[in-house]
Amino acid sequence: MDAAVGTAAETRRQQRLEELCAAAIRAQVGDAELRFRGHHLYRGAQRLALHAPHLRTDPAADDFGTLRGAADGMAARLRDSDPVLHAQALPTEPVPRLVFEWAEQFRVESLATLPGVRANLRHRHETWSLAYHRARLTESNTGLLLYTVAQILRARLTGEPVVEATEDLMEALRAQLVHQLGHELLALRRTRHEQAAFVPHALALARQVAEMADAADEADGRGEREAVDDRPLPFALWFEPEGTLGEEGAAAAGGRSAVLEAAGGAYRVFTTAYDREARIGRLARAEQLRGYREQVDARIAAQGVNLPRLARELRALLAQPVDDGWDQAQEEGRIDGRRLAQLVASPTERRLFRRERLQPQADCALALLLDCSGSMKVHAESLAMVCDVLLRALELAGVDGELLGFSTGGWNGGRARRDWQRAGSPPHPGRLNEALHLVFKDAHTPWRRARPEIAGLLKADLFREGIDGEAVDWACDRLLAQPAARRILVVVSDGCPMDSATILANDAAYLDQHLRDVVARREAEGAVEIRALGVGLDLSPYYRRSRVVELDGAVRNQVFRDILALLAAR
């Protein structure tokens, strides 16, 4: 349990650091769509590539200065580089491509003018350089060659000295390279303000370095250029393919589904005959719900949550000022024509004005959608307590609140899988289980009357498997039926979509990609704002706006602060 709490706390720390770095990038680039998701930079739903090894960071190990330096490097690339021009000239061979990418990255970093940004970029480069050297990657001829090229390129373009700690190591090779590459290095410095003029010289230098790398490979006894790629992960010349992770377990994984892409993105369901939407009151006996309610009440009483304060903060976040009439007899504002006669009778009278009276009103509907898969069962009591308090506070704030859940009607496909087997097990059947959508509290039921059903979250046999994409679509449709001006969906989950029968009959990324597609489509429509709370897991690979929360042990006020911060993100 302590290890789980520590992992969740570390994930939250990493997420906060990435939020700060993303804010710095947005400020420098002027693009509000930029943010980190799953340790990668995204513009909206598009993942942006990293262009040089020193831009890759490890939020779990790197200090904030290192992360900020990498973020400033990304911002410089987005702001000062033409990606189309760069892509047209980009070599395909590994070593020329690496050197060309380095040259362009160091070019944009050399254009930085703010002293703080230049210091951050320098700190990041030095940190990467020393880590490369300490990993003994400079002991081979090829490794030392590439390292020295990187140092020379940055020094020539930025006018800053090479890393002092390794200066003696590369002294002889550095002198040789400067002699051989001197013409191109001089031209790079001279053309660094104009990318089109810079590109031919960067390509020429990249080809010369590639020839030197061939000779270095032979000297190392390897004879294959591909051996350059056999570096430890932090110093790899290429970056992990789309959908994999830099840190195991820190973020939800995701990938592309070959089955979905072959079908043109058309998600399939083998059968809907066993799907159902059910109120929890029909799945549990009244006596059972009363027992659960007593358990939840005892937990809430022990927490000491400041409910009125939470309601006020929710009202401040979700309410909008609306016209509620006029305040008469004011000393400033708009002239009240009905009081002009008083001015004649009493020239000193000043209360001749009126003001619009604005009152905050929360014209908003909010739905909590809970992942009721098996791994969430251990959090059931904490989750019931948080949801109960939050729904009560939403009601006090004047917000219509719903509590929904999703699970499956059976394990390993249930009756749907048996029907598929009887049909001869045709390939790629799509979703292959019984979808179960749960209603613990609808928007029109007062909290007091819904109390027993909210506590129904403690019913252990509800927790089976999870088909997240369909559940998000269902919850969004319910919200769209509400006559509110603003609609918010908060998904609470501790992992990726998981239904073993569907994955085995299709591919491992089938449900993952469907969830991302659903969220992207709903966000593009704009009618429902989608947020996510990851229980000990970063859900940003699926949801643009997400936060990590801890539900292990005692639930403290930090959980509600995280929820408020999530709702405040616009």
Domain with CATH 3.40.50.410 in the chain: 269-313+362-568
CA distances from 372 to 6, 40, 281, 405, 460 (A): 24, 28, 16, 6, 10
In this predicted structure, what is the pLDDT of residue 245?
A: 31
pLDDT, tens digit (0-9, with 9 covering 90-100), for 347-369: 777 677 777 766 667 789 999 99
pLDDT band, residue 226 (cuts 50/70/90)? very low
Distance CA 160, CA 52 (A): 19
pLDDT band, residue 252 (cuts 50/70/90)? low
pLDDT band, residue 306 (cuts 50/70/90)? confident
> Residues 21, 71: contact at Cβ < 8 Å?
yes
pTM over 0.75: no
Q: For residue 296, which of 160, 151, 457 has the smallest C-alpha distance?
A: 457
Strand 46-47 and strand 486-493: pairing?
A: unpaired
The average confidence (pLDDT) of the chain is 84
Give me the amino acid identity at 23: A
Q: 269-313+362-568 adopts what CATH topology? A: Rossmann fold (3.40.50)
> Residues 546, 540: contact at Cβ < 8 Å?
yes
In this predicted structure, what is the pLDDT of residue 6?
A: 56
DSSP 3-state of 567 = helix
pLDDT, tens digit (0-9, with 9 covering 90-100), for 75-99: 999 999 998 999 899 998 888 899 9
> Residues 154, 124: contact at Cβ < 8 Å?
no
In this predicted structure, what is the pLDDT of residue 360?
A: 66
For the cut 60, the answer to whether the pLDDT of residue 241 exceeds it is no
pLDDT, tens digit (0-9, with 9 covering 90-100), for 316-332: 888 776 655 676 767 77
Distance CA 55, CA 127 (A): 11
Average pLDDT (250-276) is: 82
DSSP state of 457: G
Distance CA 12, CA 299 (A): 25
For the chain, the distance separating the N- and C-terminal CA atoms, rounded to the nearest angstrom, is 34
pLDDT, tens digit (0-9, with 9 covering 90-100), for 509-529: 899 999 999 999 999 999 999
Average pLDDT (405-434) is: 93
**CA dihedral over 190, 195, 197, 198, signed as positive or negative:** positive
For the cut 50, the answer to whether the pLDDT of residue 225 exceeds it is no
In this predicted structure, what is the pLDDT of residue 238?
A: 37
Strand 40-43 and strand 34-37: pairing?
A: antiparallel
Average pLDDT (95-109) is: 92
Burial 303-314 (b: 16+ CB within 10 A, else e): eebeeeebbebb
pLDDT, tens digit (0-9, with 9 covering 90-100), for 19-72: 888 889 999 988 888 888 767 788 876 778 778 888 888 777 788 888 899 999
